[in-house]
């Protein structure tokens, strides 16, 4: 099993998400654990230098989707973090998003 959170981070997030729900598990809300239920297209985008969301989470979801036979549209930015520092990368993201939405949610 791939560990995304440290033990302490997992405990902290679990407390924030579960509130007072006895028996709650982060697996209940994990996209990785529920990828097989996917019925819509997903555009998965990640900056490889993201300091808050480890790139390992992107890879884990991508592998889970492949194992479940669920295609994802993928876009990574090796030289970006949480936000865009380079205008060309932001433009690529917006162009990719617009094309994705046109394919999967076309205007009337």
Among 72, 73, 13, 84, smallest CA distance to 48 is for 84
Q: Residue 65: which domain range?
A: 32-104
The pLDDT tens digits for 8-58 are: 777 776 677 766 777 777 788 889 999 999 999 999 999 999 988 889 999
Percent of the chain with pLDDT over 70: 91
Collapse the DSSP code of 47 into the 3-class scheme (helix H, G, I; strand E, B; otherwise coil) and give the result.
strand
With a threshold of 0.85, does the pTM exceed it?
A: no
> Which letter does DSSP use for residue 26 in this model?
G
Evaluate whether residue 15 is within a structural domain: no
| Other CB atoms within 10 A of residue 83 CB | 8
Look over the chain and give the mean of its residue pLDDT values, rounded to a whole number.
88
Evaluate whether residue 69 is within a structural domain: yes
Q: Give me the pLDDT at residue 1, please.
A: 46
Evaluate whether residue 8 is within a structural domain: no
């Amino acid at each position: 099993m791939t560990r995304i959170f440290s033990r302490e981070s997992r405990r902290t997030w679990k407390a924030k998400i579960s509130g007072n729900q006895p028996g709650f598990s982060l697996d209940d809300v994990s996209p990785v654990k529920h990828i097989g239920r996917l019925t819509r297209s997903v555009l998965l985008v990640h900056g490889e230098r993201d300091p808050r969301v480890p790139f390992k989470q992107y890879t884990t979801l991508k592998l889970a989707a492949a194992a479940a036979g669920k295609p994802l549209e993928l876009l990574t930015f090796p030289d970006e973090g949480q936000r865009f520092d380079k205008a060309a990368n932001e433009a690529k993201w917006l162009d990719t998003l617009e094309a994705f939405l046109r394919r999967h949610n076309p205007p009337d």
